[in-house]
A and B are shown apart, each in its own frame.
Chain A
């Protein structure tokens, strides 16, 4: 009986291996233990992670896979401990600057050889985010678009259209304010939401390259370009575009304002869609548009934070770990885990298909054909953690007290000189 089920599994494995196509050739026989630590602790991601382990296990019956799922917030501090002692073979983390401390400390394995596989060309869009010092340190499994989610019914009631440029955005906003609502809801209690607004305003005002240089420490915060960005932001603040008292709310707590119609839109990642739908905003009431252009001639760039898998340098079973990473990025797997029933996000692999969900489709089109400027991660992943913290605190202060701008920028500049030295 045991034998029988094993052989069934083996046949299953070969079929899966054959259908996975491109990577089929690289399936060597794997054995031993594969220890995976994951931060995919919310119910849906957890099921996705467990599903991936199950399917990978079916392909490699001799491999004993141990999966440990850790609470997402706790994971952020625990990773520092388990990378140095009790190292797993595969671990979740984030792309770009967020992985830099571990790369610098030699705790992540250089997996450039995995990226040399020709099939990895399908992941080229995120290769930059996975590269530090000219080497690759992990693989992406999912990402999601950012944009403005708005109340379609309110826009229709007021006779507004999706804005194509900043002037339209402002005139729309004025109409909304005149109707007794706020244009945008936001909760800045945990700071990073203000980082999203800065990302977009800065990328639209000064372009992606400027933004990358600023977060990379090559441009001073007292630069005129930054001031132009804040001047645009201030126009929105002064006209009363944002809800009052946003410093008291987390992003979840800011959602009731758009649900009740007290605010008409929210700038957020696609993860805001499920809670808004659950609160009763169906597709006839909720819609999405790309953040409009501000400076003419600046190519549109987008935020699309990427979640990743890495191999710690202390891993014991690196062969199995690399095979798992290749399995994770395969087109079929990414199609499956990112569909609406699972993560409800976008697959990174260009050969994957995107779930037939209105927002995922729009987001995919936007990222693949209408972000010629480039794809950024997010403020707190593009800038070093310390700088992100100081800066996002400054953004929050600016949103409440725009007159403090010069003081804030001086402070950021002082911090930047220390952090980027």
Chain B
């Protein structure tokens, strides 16, 4: 008898709290996977970074040894410097995307075709982008140097010269990233209020002033998203580097994520602890941005939009 009343109270407890509990029940699988595949690996990486481990044998505790080695490691600073260059230059995708979007935001016959053509680079795989640009840059047969040759300029070995290599890869990365920002702005432009434009026009605003004071403020949500994806994209740049230069020449095009892969998982690597310590540094850098994004989203929410 007591068991049946207990069952009754249990069902009624669920009934009473259904609205509060059900969302959490739906969230359980997602949260579980998030904990298992995101949160746990973060702490696990931090833990591994304190060990010297080749992934096979016994791991031996080295404390902050890996970080101390990072401090003396030239290759680490090269990667860090390149990461910063990536961060800054990759942001060019945002204004570039904006201007292409403005240019394409017209009603002309066949504009859909032009839009798709501009969006095309984002659809194709980064590996293909990397290969295409590798051929483009080829110092002997590549299109770039054929073109420069017309003006009598000597061939430039973009991917084989440590001065140009990072910029060369970023240029390749900007191609699809600009397309991505463009599509974000195109959707944003659909939401621009025509009445405000009308009003601005009556007040005599034109050209740059119209763009800067009327259009761009209304595109703020699109800009925010473009900013987020571009920053994250710049920090996790990996595939283009792997395809186009493999980190070379002599490691000058590495970024942190690629360097981590090299020391931990590539053919000559397998220093799991050292790789993990690089990953932790990269995570800390990302954390600054993520914290900023979360903070600004929270502020926006509080602002009651």
Q: Which residues of A contact B (CB under 8 A)?
A: 76-77, 80, 83-84, 101-102, 104-105, 107, 188-191, 244-249, 380, 385-386, 388-389, 393-394, 396-397, 400, 411, 418
Most buried by A among B138, B160, B246: B160
- Whether A84 contacts B160 in the complex (CB less than 8 A), given A191-B248, A393-B250, comes out as no
Q: A137: shortest Cβ distance to chain B, in Å?
A: 15
> Which B residues are in CB contact (< 8 Å) with A102?
56
CA distance A83 to B55 in the complex (A): 12
Q: Which of B110-153 contact A (CB under 8 A)?
A: 137-140
By beta carbon, the residue of chain B nearest A249 is B160
CA distance A105 to B55 in the complex (A): 10
A245 touching B251, Cβ below 8 Å: no
Residue from B69, B140, B249 within 8 A of A247 (CB atoms): B249
B74 within 8 A of A: yes
B269 touching A248, Cβ below 8 Å: no
Q: A390: shortest Cβ distance to chain B, in Å?
A: 9
> Which B residues are in CB contact (< 8 Å) with A76?
267
> Which B residues are in CB contact (< 8 Å) with A393?
248, 250-251
B249 touching A396, Cβ below 8 Å: yes
A105 touching B56, Cβ below 8 Å: yes
Please list 29 pairs of residues, one from A and one from B, whose beta carbons are closer than 8 Å in the complex, sorted by A's number. A77-B266, A77-B267, A84-B56, A101-B56, A101-B57, A105-B56, A105-B57, A244-B139, A244-B157, A245-B139, A245-B160, A246-B160, A247-B159, A247-B160, A247-B161, A247-B248, A247-B249, A248-B160, A249-B160, A380-B268, A385-B267, A385-B268, A393-B250, A393-B251, A394-B250, A396-B249, A397-B249, A397-B250, A400-B249
A101 touching B155, Cβ below 8 Å: no
> Which B residues are in CB contact (< 8 Å) with A83?
56
Residue from A84, A101, A248, A418 within 8 A of B139 (CB atoms): A248
B293 within 8 A of A: no
B250 touching A190, Cβ below 8 Å: no
Interface on chain A toward B: helix, strand, loop, or mixed SS? helix
A411 touching B56, Cβ below 8 Å: no
- Whether A80 contacts B55 in the complex (CB less than 8 A), given A248-B139, A396-B249, A400-B250, comes out as yes
Q: B224: shortest Cβ distance to chain A, in Å?
A: 39
Contact with A along B169-181 (1 / 0, CB 8 A): 0000000000000
B268 touching A77, Cβ below 8 Å: no
- Whether A248 contacts B157 in the complex (CB less than 8 A), given A101-B56, A396-B248, A396-B249, comes out as yes
> Which B residues are in CB contact (< 8 Å) with A188?
248-249
By beta carbon, the residue of chain B nearest A411 is B74
- Whether A385 contacts B270 in the complex (CB less than 8 A), given A102-B56, A247-B157, A248-B157, comes out as yes
Q: B55: shortest Cβ distance to chain A, in Å?
A: 6
Q: A379: shortest Cβ distance to chain B, in Å?
A: 11
A80 touching B250, Cβ below 8 Å: no
Q: Which of B222-255 contact A (CB under 8 A)?
A: 245-246, 248-251
> Which B residues are in CB contact (< 8 Å) with A248?
137-139, 157-160
> Which B residues are in CB contact (< 8 Å) with A389?
262, 268-269
CA distance A385 to B56 in the complex (A): 15
B246 touching A245, Cβ below 8 Å: no
Interface on chain B toward A: helix, strand, loop, or mixed SS? loop
Q: A391: shortest Cβ distance to chain B, in Å?
A: 10
Most buried by A among B55, B140, B160, B250: B250
In the complex, the 3 A-B pairs of residues with the closest C-beta atoms, listed nearest first? A247-B160, A248-B160, A389-B268
Residue from A107, A189, A244, A397 within 8 A of B245 (CB atoms): A189
Contact with A along B20-39 (1 / 0, CB 8 A): 00000000000000000000
A80 touching B270, Cβ below 8 Å: yes
Residue from B137, B158, B250 within 8 A of A396 (CB atoms): B250
> Which A residues are in CB contact (< 8 Å) with B69?
418
A189 touching B246, Cβ below 8 Å: yes
Q: Which of B52-111 contact A (CB under 8 A)?
A: 54-57, 69, 74
Q: B7: shortest Cβ distance to chain A, in Å?
A: 45
By beta carbon, the residue of chain B nearest A102 is B56
> Which B residues are in CB contact (< 8 Å) with A189?
160, 245-246, 248-249
> Which A residues are in CB contact (< 8 Å) with B245?
189
B56 touching A107, Cβ below 8 Å: yes
> Which B residues are in CB contact (< 8 Å) with A385?
267-270
Q: A5: shortest Cβ distance to chain B, in Å?
A: 44
> Which B residues are in CB contact (< 8 Å) with A80?
55-56, 270
Q: A208: shortest Cβ distance to chain B, in Å?
A: 23
> Which B residues are in CB contact (< 8 Å) with A394?
250
B46 within 8 A of A: no
A245 touching B140, Cβ below 8 Å: yes
B197 within 8 A of A: no
> Which B residues are in CB contact (< 8 Å) with A84?
56
> Which A residues are in CB contact (< 8 Å) with B54?
101, 105
B281 within 8 A of A: no
- Other A-B contacts than A105-B54, A246-B160, 7 sampled, CB-CB below 8 A, are A77-B267, A245-B157, A245-B160, A248-B138, A249-B160, A380-B268, A386-B269
By beta carbon, the residue of chain B nearest A400 is B249
> Which B residues are in CB contact (< 8 Å) with A397?
249-250
> Which A residues are in CB contact (< 8 Å) with B266?
77
> Which A residues are in CB contact (< 8 Å) with B42?
none
B205 within 8 A of A: no
Q: B155: shortest Cβ distance to chain A, in Å?
A: 7
Q: A403: shortest Cβ distance to chain B, in Å?
A: 14
A77 touching B265, Cβ below 8 Å: yes
Q: B194: shortest Cβ distance to chain A, in Å?
A: 52
Q: A143: shortest Cβ distance to chain B, in Å?
A: 20
By beta carbon, the residue of chain A nearest B161 is A247
> Which B residues are in CB contact (< 8 Å) with A244?
139, 157
> Which A residues are in CB contact (< 8 Å) with B160?
189, 245-249
B268 touching A386, Cβ below 8 Å: yes
Q: A419: shortest Cβ distance to chain B, in Å?
A: 10
Q: B87: shortest Cβ distance to chain A, in Å?
A: 25
> Which A residues are in CB contact (< 8 Å) with B55?
80
> Which A residues are in CB contact (< 8 Å) with B248?
188-189, 191, 247, 393, 396
By beta carbon, the residue of chain B nearest A392 is B268
> Which B residues are in CB contact (< 8 Å) with A418?
69
> Which A residues are in CB contact (< 8 Å) with B268?
380, 385-386, 388-389
> Which A residues are in CB contact (< 8 Å) with B137?
248
CA distance A248 to B57 in the complex (A): 37
Q: B278: shortest Cβ distance to chain A, in Å?
A: 15
A104 touching B265, Cβ below 8 Å: no
> Which A residues are in CB contact (< 8 Å) with B271?
386
CA distance A131 to B74 in the complex (A): 36
CA distance A31 to B138 in the complex (A): 56
